[in-house]
Amino acid sequence: MNEGVLDELVDALRCLPGVGPKSAQRMALHLLQRDRKGAARLGEVMVRAMHSVQHCQQCRIFTENTVCSYCSDTSREPSQLCVVENPADVLAIEKSTEYRGRFFLLLGQLSPLDGVGPKDLGLDLLEERLNSGEVTELTLATNQSVEGQATARYITTLATDRDVSVMQIARGIPIGSELEFADSTTLSVAFEQRTRL
Ligand SMILES: [Zn+2]
């Protein structure tokens, strides 16, 4: 391996999840040998995305605006709020279910041992939202891992303290699995059969 910028490229590629030194090297060489155009585009779009994509101020979904298209869509029911962990979960729910309320994105799970507390998940923002009185029904579509369940319990308390009814999507989703990998029928049924907590 040469020195300088090539090493830097290999090192930079390692910021991608699951990419170790060997695959980073393979990727760098592939881009240099076979796809310089693609690499240039990747670099350019990456810079633009990092500069312009931010969290929606209301639901934390990634957006180029201060408020995302879900939150600004007046045809969506503002009294219904669905709490999910990942952006991919929003897309999965949109694709597979009839749900047409609003979303709130946690981007993680409570995990005190890893230093992830309520604020890191925007739960102070969620609390404000619930305080506004706009939301009457909250649906938990969080994953069923141990941390996911702890997060769900925390949110349930926030909501019930404010007389907001809480529903949880049914357990058709296998325990410990990620929502985004559920097939759309399973997710659709789980959403249909959500139960009041
Ligand atoms: Zn939003």
Per-residue pLDDT of 61-80, as tens digits, reads: 999 999 999 999 999 999 99
Instruction: Say how many Å lie between the CA of residue 83 and the centre of ligand 1.
Output: 12
- If one compares 70 and 2, the residue with the highest pLDDT of the two is 70
Instruction: Say how many Å lie between the CA of residue 177 and the centre of ligand 1.
Output: 25
Instruction: Say how many Å lie between the CA of residue 1 and the centre of ligand 1.
Output: 45
Per-residue pLDDT of 106-146, as tens digits, reads: 999 999 888 999 999 999 999 999 999 999 999 999 887 88
Instruction: Say how many Å lie between the CA of residue 59 and the centre of ligand 1.
Output: 4
pTM exceeds 0.85: no
Instruction: Say how many Å lie between the CA of residue 132 and the centre of ligand 1.
Output: 16
Instruction: Say how many Å lie between the CA of residue 80 and the centre of ligand 1.
Output: 13
Instruction: Say how many Å lie between the CA of residue 68 and the centre of ligand 1.
Output: 4
Instruction: Say how many Å lie between the CA of residue 31 and the centre of ligand 1.
Output: 36
Per-residue pLDDT of 19-54, as tens digits, reads: 999 999 999 999 999 999 999 999 999 999 999 999
Instruction: Report d(CA 100, CA 97) in Å as an integer.
Output: 9
